[in-house]
Amino acid sequence: MNFLLLQKVFLSLIAAAVAAVVVSKIRGRRRNMPPGPITLPIFGSWFQVGNNLDHHDFIRYAQKFGHVFLLRMGQRRIAVVSSPELAKEVLLTQGKEFGSRSRNIVFDIFTGKGQDMIFTDYGDHWRKMRRIVTVPFFTNKVVHQYHGDWEAEAEAVVEDMRNTPAASMEGVVLRRRIELMVYNNVYKIMFDKKFESEEDPLYVKLKNVNGERSRLGQSLEYNFGDFVPIFRPFLRGYLNKCKEVTRRRLNLYKDSFVEVRKKIASTEAFDKNRLKCGIDHFLECQANGEINEDNVLYIVENMNVAAIETVIWTLEWAVAELINNPEIQNKLRAELDAVLGPNKQVTEPDTHKLPYLQAVIKETLRLRMVVPCLVPHMNLDKANLGGYEIPAESRIFVNAWWLANDPALWKKPEEFRPERFLEEESSVEVNGNDIKYIPFGVGRRSCPGIMMAMPVLGITLGRLVQNFELFPPLGQSKIDTAENNGQFATRMSKHSTIVLKPRNII
């Protein structure tokens, strides 16, 4: 009896699910939404698709469903765009309509539901924040004022490596030293602050708490609870951890940097004519009522993520590619020697006279794009794309990696070949002048940090190659370039050990 009842319930459930699928398909077709995998009530396509979504998975779905497809993942709708024409539509032609950001449950916590700049909706708050951050960070004047510091920081990396005997023998994890350099580059502009060594206790604290935030944010393991709200109770512990880390980070920024700077600036001895740093400017904006204290801290939080990890990851990829392609490393060194001579270390103005160096950086950003689907965009209202209706508040991923690696658009895209940017792709720039190559995005929400990223990448890589021959550790023929794909970032899975043999000509 009980068994019969159970059987009936089970069959009714299956019938209801099938009916729901059919109804949703018919409704989807009537509303002309983009194609995508079959969906179930409540879960959408989560059972078929799972938690791990990266640019490679998106390519597979695009091959099946087309240049725009829609994944219904529980409560979230994810539209993925994989052609230059549709990317242009999202980022440029309808840049305003698709100019908001989609946040997941974890980024809601990290950004106070969009009180920051990177994850806020398109509108007045974003415009104001972007204007405020632009003054101390994103103008030519900033490059002019700070490139000497970036060069000094790169020089310090070279000196430290020369003075570390292990570097030329068994090798060192170069990333650790590069990380300090990148922190110093950013903290100089933001707080006029420099960390003296990797052991500096404040630096260690900062790096740890930022690292925790990165790990928690990039992990794909919380997707199930973001997609399917009935699962959220299982994430309580995870979300509490995110809240705790956010509290610790914001307190650290406030107590150890913002308040310290306020104190320095209020002392008699403070030279008012000195170059203003970022925080002086943000605090002025707070004092005149443009933004509040939370906004100031969220700007600091944004810069700690956007400006630091992206550059470190790109440098790690570039060094790995140069080691794994020794002929390219040698060719780059030959260009540096020929253009600069034996006694001149590369500076920011020099980077413009070094086409092969620029090509190596571009090729790294093409093949090893660290933000492969850009930071997710969102349409606040219902929109049209490629003849389809995109429901309001869909998460929009533009598969920029695929645009830059599609064999229909690039010659042998799987090869690391900087020459392509001097030959058949010589007109393609990093600023998005050609939509098939947008490692920094393009349009309203594109990366303003390109101003700083490109010179820092050029100076650092140039100096490393001028001063050292770079090798994998003994017994290893290549650096392991396995990928680790997170929510929006692609990093190297392992922090490689690098052997740096000093060159004696300089």
CA dist 87 and 442 (Å) reads: 10
Q: Of 308, 339, 331, 347, nearest to 453 (Cα)?
A: 308
In the complex, the smallest distance separating the C-beta of residue 302 from ligand HEM, rounded to whole angstroms, is: 6
Q: Which is nearer to ligand HEM, 171 or 443 (CB)?
A: 443
C-beta closer to ligand HEM: residue 370 or 499: 370
Strand runs labelled E in 82-180? 100-101
Cβ atoms 336, 466 nearer than 8 A = yes
Helices and strands per DSSP (H, E), number in the chain: 21, 11
Given a contact cutoff of 8 angstroms between Cβ atoms, the answer to whether 378 and 102 are in contact is yes
Q: How far is the CB of 309 from ligand HEM (least distance, A)?
A: 9
What's the min distance (Å) between Cβ of 264 and ligand HEM? 23
Query: 174-191 and 309-324 helices cross at what angle (nearest 10)?
Result: 150
- Supply the minimum distance, in Å, between the C-beta of residue 101 and ligand HEM: 7
Other beta carbons within 10 Å of 451 = 17
- Given the complex with ligand HEM, which of 32 and 433 has the nearer CB atom? 433
**Residue 204 Cβ vs ligand HEM, minimum distance, rounded to whole Å:** 22
Distance of CA 280 to the CA centre of its chain: 26
Residue with tokens 């779905």: 61
Specify the residue, 302 or 496, whose C-beta has the smaller distance to ligand HEM: 302
Q: How far is the CB of 265 from ligand HEM (least distance, A)?
A: 22
Neighbours of 271 (CB within 10 A): 6
| Pairwise CA distance, residues 208 & 196, whole Å | 17
Pick the closer one to ligand HEM by CB: 39 or 120: 120
Rounded Cα distance, 261 and 43, in Å: 49
Q: Name the strands in the sheet holding 377-378, side by side, starting at the edge strand that comes first in the sequence.
A: 68-73, 76-81, 395-398, 377-378, 100-101
What is the torsion angle, in degrees rounded to the nearest 10, for the CA atoms of residue 263, residue 269, residue 274 and residue 275?
A: -20
Helix (H, G, I), strand (E, B) or coil at 71: strand
Q: Which residues are CB-neighbours of 151 under 8 A, at least 6 positions away?
A: 345, 347, 348, 459
Q: Which of 155, 122, 117, 431 is closest to 278 using CA atoms?
A: 117
Does 447 appear as a known binding residue? yes
CB of 447 to ligand HEM, least distance (A): 3
Q: State the number of CA atoms in the 13 A half-sphere of 114 facing the CB.
A: 15
Closer of 210 and 310 to ligand HEM (Cβ): 310
CA distance 257 to 186: 13
Return d(Cα 405, Cα 415) in angstroms, integer: 10
Q: Name the residue nearer to ligand HEM (CB basis): 137 or 253.
A: 137
As given in the structure block, the two tokens for residue 41 are 């009530």
Q: Which is nearer to ligand HEM, 75 or 431 (CB)?
A: 431
Q: Which residue is nearest to ligand HEM (CB)?
A: 449
Nearer to ligand HEM by C-beta: 111 or 223? 111
End-to-end CA distance of the chain: 89
Q: How far is the CB of 387 from ligand HEM (least distance, A)?
A: 23
Nearer to ligand HEM, 50 or 486 (CB): 486
* Distance in angstroms (rounded) separating the CA atoms of residues 359 and 366: 10
Q: Closest by alpha carbon to 311, among 180, 221, 220, 464? A: 180
150 token code pair: 């970036």
Binding site for ligand HEM (CB under 6 A): 117-118, 130, 137, 302-303, 306-307, 310-311, 314, 370-371, 374-375, 377, 439-441, 445-449, 452-453
Work out how close the CB of 480 gets to ligand HEM at its nearest, in angstroms, rounded to a whole number. 21
**Closest distance between ligand HEM and the C-beta of residue 449, in Å?**
2
Strand-strand pairing, 76-81 and 395-398: parallel
For ligand HEM, give the closer residue by CB, 61 or 488. Answer: 488
Minimum distance of ligand HEM from residue 229's CB (angstroms): 26
Binding residues: 447
Binding residues for heme: 447
